[in-house]
Amino acid sequence: MNDLLSRSALKRNVKDLFKGNWITAIKANIVQIIIGFFGGITISGAMIGISLIVSRRHFMYTTNDRYSGHSGFGGGNSAMSFVFQAVLTFIIVGAQFGLLDWLHDHTKAPEFKTSFQIFTRNKFIPALAMYLFQWIFIFGWTLLFVIPGIIKRFSYSQTYFLYKAASDRGISDQFEYYDYVTFSRRLMDGNKGRLFVLNLSLIGWLLLSIVSLGIGFIWFVPYQNAIYSEFFRDLADKQGSQKVPEIFGKVETD
């Protein structure tokens, strides 16, 4: 259980896969890239014109004062933000599923539609249920203190991957949706620090993507998603049968 790949090895495997195949990788992540591109422009613009942003917020504040009787305004924004985060998460998960298959079998290259696979009939309800369970658990821990909430995000980070592993083995219907959150917590026991440091090692790429007005996201998004997929693949191969025998201890069915 101690022969997990190093950060450099994980990144090297992804770079080897993407060598000569960057167009394929970008195509499978294009939606998230576009969102990151506009986000990068927004952040860069904020860094340059902070005074304009402050002025705009003051205007919005005074405008909202005029309509303070409409008590549902803030709640509507929160609901829309929740939906947006859920949709973006499902797009990212879809891309990561495709990249995971590609890492397993280099002949299974992902396509543009790969990012939208979660929005199919047999995957959407499970993904939505797991998203809600994670949100509830993380929100509950965050109420206690911010740090426990952050730690739980790492604990639950493999939830969707574990559901895919069970689905690929034809046993996903043997478990409740919240079981996958529990499985993730068990698989990440002793590995949360590894994932945290892996995230830190990508900060330079993220900052470069932002200061380049979002252009860097063209390469950063596929690279990051593939590294997370490779992290799970290595973790499942090396520790899956010991920590989550319910999934990895079972024989795959045809």
Among candidate residues 127, 95, 131, 130, the one with its CA nearest the CA of residue 228: 95
Domain holding 69, by residue range, is 12-248
Contacts of 110 (CB under 8 A, 6+ apart): 24, 25, 27, 28, 95, 98, 99, 101, 102
Is residue 132 one of the residues assigned to a domain?
Answer: yes
Cα dihedral value 165, 198, 96, 115, nearest 10? 150
Is residue 3 one of the residues assigned to a domain?
Answer: no
pLDDT value, residue 80: 87
Is residue 50 one of the residues assigned to a domain?
Answer: yes
Is residue 6 one of the residues assigned to a domain?
Answer: no
Question: What's the N-to-C CA distance of the chain in angstroms?
Answer: 28
pLDDT value, residue 160: 98
Per-run averaged pLDDT (10 residues), the chain, 254 residues: 88 97 96 84 55 43 40 59 92 97 96 96 96 94 87 96 97 97 98 97 94 92 98 98 92 48
pLDDT value, residue 138: 93
**pTM for this structure?**
0.84
Count: domains in the chain = 1
How far is the C-alpha of 179 from the C-alpha of 242, rounded, in Å?
16
Contacts of 27 (CB under 8 A, 6+ apart): 110, 111, 112
pLDDT value, residue 46: 53
How far is the C-alpha of 216 from the C-alpha of 201, rounded, in Å?
16
